[in-house]
């Protein structure tokens, strides 16, 4: 399996290339789904029900004469690269053979490979995995341990099944002066947004607070060389990509963003998404500590790596405005519900920085 390794000084900011709301391709017609299913020789398509979508790609729960499956349609231009998808699929299959909870795609009957092409769209068919999503607050402490250990095992196994990586020269981090200029612009947009609602008022307040935080912490910008070691990662490890059955993880889903990054940073980002209060964003540091200790116990990272990752992810969040850029620059409101907790978490993190660091690194 091969991926590009040209990472030197890659940007830390998230990709904002996703299309605005309403510009995704339309749902796939039933006849087209039936044609795709025919290529897998699993019997005639009986039903096809859309499942909850991510921001970009489409998925269908399909039933055939042979059983129930998940059919994925790749409509995101950033992930709909046939070679990259095939590479991801091969990695998933190898992880599955190592006994990890990964459901690899089925092979097409007409030709070798796992990707079907129909009407200019790319598809992949997966076994249907029963289970439900669980927020980190629902997990017992032993389950937090198990989750951290699983992520550590996945990171170690990815090193075994993916191409060797050369460590990059460094990673750029957000410039607080640029971030302050963007915050000023977004605050003006929020103030002039019509209709002006409660979220706009909150945004104005939080951006004023953010400008103060950027000025206060500008001297703490991480150096490019301060990142923990780069390794292969899932790339999008959070609760909506985990299925639980009978208290255990039955599948780690959605490997579209499989790729190299500072590995300990994925562990930190995942914890901030899993173990936060969904209203205030405040982290449950007891659960974070259990998860982090179990992750480190696998050998995937040291305490020093986690400490560096905490600082870099904190800085990334301090300089990150993607939710507001979607709302005010693109008129795309898909991320609006995420903003209050995200902004609250950052403000709390700035106040409790040492406690968060201690939970991850000790």
- Statement to judge: residues 40 and 98 lie in one domain: yes
Higher pLDDT among residues 82 and 140, named by residue: 140
Query: Residue 303 domain-assigned?
Result: yes
- Statement to judge: residues 273 and 224 lie in one domain: yes
pLDDT value at residue 41: 87
Express each pLDDT in 120-139 by its tens digit.
889 999 999 999 999 999 99
DSSP per position, 290-349: HHHHHHHHTTS--HHHHHHHHHHHHHHHHT--HHHHHHHHS---TTGGGHHHHHHHHHHH
Query: Residue 192 domain-assigned?
Result: no
- Statement to judge: residues 117 and 214 lie in one domain: no
Q: What is the C-alpha separation between 8 and 92, in angstroms, rounded?
A: 26
- Statement to judge: residues 265 and 304 lie in one domain: yes
- Statement to judge: residues 36 and 149 lie in one domain: no
Per-residue tokens: 304: 């020093």
Task: Quickly list H helices, 64-197.
Answer: 82-97, 141-161, 176-192
Domain count of the fold of the chain: 2
Query: Which domain CATH number covers 92?
Result: 3.30.200.20
Cβ-based neighbours of 171, under 8 Å, separated by 6 or more: 9, 10, 11, 12, 224, 227, 262, 312
Cβ-based neighbours of 240, under 8 Å, separated by 6 or more: 54, 133
- Statement to judge: residues 244 and 317 lie in one domain: yes
- Statement to judge: residues 88 and 164 lie in one domain: no
Domain that holds residue 250: 136-172+207-361
Per-residue tokens: 39: 């290529």
- Statement to judge: residues 144 and 53 lie in one domain: no
> Does residue 99 register a pLDDT over 70?
yes
Residue 293: closest CA among 136, 121, 79, 144: 144
- Statement to judge: residues 244 and 318 lie in one domain: yes
Task: Report percent pLDDT > 90 for the chain.
Answer: 83
Query: Residue 199 domain-assigned?
Result: no
- Statement to judge: residues 85 and 168 lie in one domain: no
The structure's pTM equals 0.91
Query: Which domain CATH number covers 248?
Result: 3.90.1200.10
Express each pLDDT in 7-58 by its tens digit.
333 333 444 444 444 445 567 899 999 999 999 989 999 999 998 755 557 8
Q: What is the C-alpha separation between 353 and 345, in angstroms, rounded?
A: 11
Judged by average pLDDT, the poorest of 82-86, 100-104, 137-141 is 82-86
> Does residue 110 register a pLDDT over 70?
no
pLDDT value at residue 288: 98
- Statement to judge: residues 36 and 140 lie in one domain: no
- Statement to judge: residues 168 and 85 lie in one domain: no
Query: Residue 22 domain-assigned?
Result: no
Please enumerate, as own/partner, the contacts of 62-65 that have beta carbons within 8 Å and a separation of 24 or more.
62/33, 62/37, 62/125, 64/37
Query: Residue 241 domain-assigned?
Result: yes
pLDDT tier, 64 (very low <50, low <70, confident <90, very high otherwise): very high
Query: Residue 10 domain-assigned?
Result: no
């Amino acid at each position: 399996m091969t991926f590009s390794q040209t990472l030197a000084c890659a940007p830390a900011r998230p990709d904002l290339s996703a299309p605005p709301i309403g510009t995704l391709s339309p749902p796939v017609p039933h006849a087209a789904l039936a044609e795709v299913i025919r290529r897998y020789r699993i019997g005639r398509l009986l039903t096809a029900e859309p499942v909850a979508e991510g921001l970009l790609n489409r998925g269908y729960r399909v039933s055939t004469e042979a059983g129930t499956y998940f059919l994925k349609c790749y409509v995101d231009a950033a992930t709909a690269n046939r070679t990259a998808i095939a590479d991801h699929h091969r990695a998933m299959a190898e992880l599955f053979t190592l006994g990890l909870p990964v459901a690899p795609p089925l092979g097409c009957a007409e030709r070798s490979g796992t990707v079907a092409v129909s009407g200019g769209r790319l598809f992949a068919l997966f076994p249907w995995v029963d289970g439900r999503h669980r927020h980190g607050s629902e997990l017992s402490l032993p389950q937090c341990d198990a989750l951290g250990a699983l992520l550590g095992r996945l990171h170690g196994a990815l090193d075994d099944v993916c191409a060797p990586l050369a460590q990059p020269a460094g990673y750029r981090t957000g410039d607080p002066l640029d971030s302050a200029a963007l915050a000023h612009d977004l605050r003006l947009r929020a103030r002039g947004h019509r209709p002006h609602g409660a979220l706009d008022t909150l945004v104005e307040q939080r951006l004023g607070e953010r400008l103060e935080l950027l000025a206060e912490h500008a001297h703490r910008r991480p150096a490019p060389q301060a990142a923990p070691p780069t390794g292969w990662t899932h790339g999008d490890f959070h609760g909506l990509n985990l299925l639980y059955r009978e208290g255990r993880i039955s599948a780690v889903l959605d490997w579209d963003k499989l790729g190299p990054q500072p590995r300990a940073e994925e562990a930190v980002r995942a914890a901030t998404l899993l173990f936060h209060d969904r209203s205030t964003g405040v982290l449950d540091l007891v659960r974070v500590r259990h998860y982090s200790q179990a992750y480190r116990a696998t050998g995937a990272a040291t305490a020093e790596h986690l400490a560096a990752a905490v600082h870099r992810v904190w800085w990334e969040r301090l300089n990150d405005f993607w939710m507001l850029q979607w709302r005010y620059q693109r008129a795309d409101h898909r991320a609006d519900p995420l903003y209050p907790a995200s902004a609250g978490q950052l403000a709390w993190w700035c106040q409790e920085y040492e406690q968060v660091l201690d939970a991850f690194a000790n």
